Each structure stands twice: as structure tokens, then as C-alpha cells.
Amino acid sequence: MQNVESSQPIGNLKISRDVIATIAKFATLEIEGVASLASFATNIKGWLLKKQTAKPIVIELSDDIAVIDIHVNIKSGINIPCVAQKIQIAVKEAVQNMTGIAVSRVNVDIAGIVFDEPETVVQEE
């Protein structure tokens, strides 16, 4: 796993992709309308055509610049473009403020919609 490493006057600092993903996760889940993060099925490099389950947040690092892909389920009745934009802004700000790593893009994939379960009325006799 690739880490972001920077030299400080008194030593080195390493930040793992898992730390960046955790920051992105909590920033995403704070957005109103987000029901949950979503794992997604993918066929990675044609591995015998078996579907592999991938993590809901993927971090790509190149020259200390991050591209973040987030897969989410949203609640029904929510304006999808508005929620996606709020996720992008929140994740970018949180990662940059907490780690100092520049974020060039936050890609949001709406994997599903979660509908509220209708409440069943129980009649007392």
C-alpha cells in the first residue's frame, strides 16, 4: 500500500491511504441524504470472471495529489446532484485540512437508493 510521505525539519511523516479513506468516509456520512457507503462488484483484471467486492472508497495517489472515488447509497427523495456536490466539497476540504494532501478530484458514484420502509400498523385486539 502506497503512503504519502513528506519530510519535516524534525523527521518524516507518513499518511496511509486507509487514513485518507477514513477521513473521506466520515465526511461523506455527515452529508444529509447519504444512507451509507456502498461496496460494489467489479471484475478486476478478468480474474476468471469472478466478481470481486471492492471497497466503497478508493484512493489514488500520484505526486502527493489524491483522486478519491466514493460509492454511496442515498436516501429516496433526495436531489442527487446536490448531494453529490456536497460530498465532493466536504471530502475535499476534510482531506486537505486534516492531511495537507491536495485533492484534485472527488468522484461520486451513486450505487443505490434506499427507500424508507413503510411502518406496519399493528392492531390491538
From first to last of its 125 residues, the chain has per-residue pLDDT tens of 456 766 667 888 888 899 999 999 999 999 999 999 998 655 555 555 555 567 899 999 988 899 999 999 999 999 999 999 999 999 999 999 999 999 999 999 999 999 987 666 666 65
Task: Give the Cα separation of 75 and 35 in Å (integer).
Answer: 5
Which amino acid would we find at residue 76?
S
d(CA 93, CA 65): 14
- Tell me the residue ranges of DSSP E strands in 17-125: 34-37, 40-42, 52-54, 57-62, 65-75, 102-114
Angle subtended by helix axes 17-29 and 80-99, to nearest 10? 140
Q: What pTM did the predictor assign?
A: 0.78
Q: What is the per-residue pLDDT for 71?
A: 96
Per-domain residue ranges of the chain: 17-114
Among 1.10.3720.10, 3.30.70.1350, 3.30.2350.10, 3.30.930.10, name the CATH number for the domain at 17-114: 3.30.70.1350
Residues 113 and 74 sit within 8 Å (Cβ to Cβ): yes
Helix (H) or strand (E) holding 28: helix 17-29
